């Protein structure tokens, strides 16, 4: 792995664990056992690293979601549940402050996230809802655009420490409750039956 890629990989791990604000260029250099001068040979400042880390992360997310979820899901309900598991895997050790830090201290990187959210995520939510309606799993009378944006904001709301203090709430528990509430609000009787079957299987596998 080339030096620049090593720096970005290390920075991403540190940012996810401790938040963007808490990690300095010194911390990254110390973690890699290199001089700060070495890092400045590749990056002008911390903000550039944060932006490149964000771009790298979201590009990887697009590839993973396509390969492991969208191309393999059995139906629209199964896809949403698979996305939920993926969120659990990718955010299990994430610091709850990352979204707040990104928005407040790194506006360019925050814009990268917004582009990912309003582009990739929203596009696939719309597609999932339309697919679910066609499969007879979601109610035909839902407003796809409104419901897609509602789900989009639910995902981000779980990161809001003012609404859900991390000392009181587990991030993934919030996401699970949101998803369960969301799916039950849009499924048909057929969709609910399928959801129950998937949850029963998941419960048995967890035991």
pLDDT digits (tens, 9 = 90+) for 117-164: 999 999 999 999 999 999 999 999 999 999 999 999 998 898 888 899
Question: Which tokens hold the place of 142?
Answer: 């839902």
Domain 45-206 superfamily per CATH: Tetracycline Repressor, domain 2 (1.10.357.10)
DSSP tally for the chain: helices H, then strands E? 11, 0
pTM of the model: 0.88
Query: How much is the pLDDT for 92?
Result: 74
Compute the distance between CA of residue 122 and CA of residue 76 in angstroms, rounded to an integer. 15
Domain ranges of the chain: 45-206
């Amino acid at each position: 792995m080339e030096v620049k890629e090593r720096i970005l990989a290390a920075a991403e791990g540190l940012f996810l664990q401790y938040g963007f604000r808490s990690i300095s260029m010194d911390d990254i250099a110390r973690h890699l056992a290199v001089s700060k001068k070495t890092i400045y040979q590749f990056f002008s400042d911390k903000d550039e690293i944060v932006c490149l880390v964000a771009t790298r992360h979201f590009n990887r997310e697009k590839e993973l979601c396509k390969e492991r979820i969208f191309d393999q899901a059995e139906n629209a309900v199964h896809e949403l549940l698979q996305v939920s598991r993926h969120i659990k895997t990718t955010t299990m050790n994430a610091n709850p402050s990352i979204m707040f830090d990104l928005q407040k201290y790194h506006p360019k990187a925050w814009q990268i996230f917004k582009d990912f959210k309003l582009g990739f995520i929203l596009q696939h939510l719309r597609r999932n809802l339309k697919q679910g309606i066609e499969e007879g799993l979601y109610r035909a009378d839902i407003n796809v655009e409104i419901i897609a944006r509602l789900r989009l904001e639910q995902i981000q709301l779980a990161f809001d420490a003012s609404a859900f203090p991390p000392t009181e709430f587990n991030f993934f528990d919030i996401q699970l409750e949101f998803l369960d509430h969301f799916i039950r609000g849009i499924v048909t009787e057929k969709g609910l039956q399928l959801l129950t079957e998937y949850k029963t299987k998941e419960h048995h596998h967890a035991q």
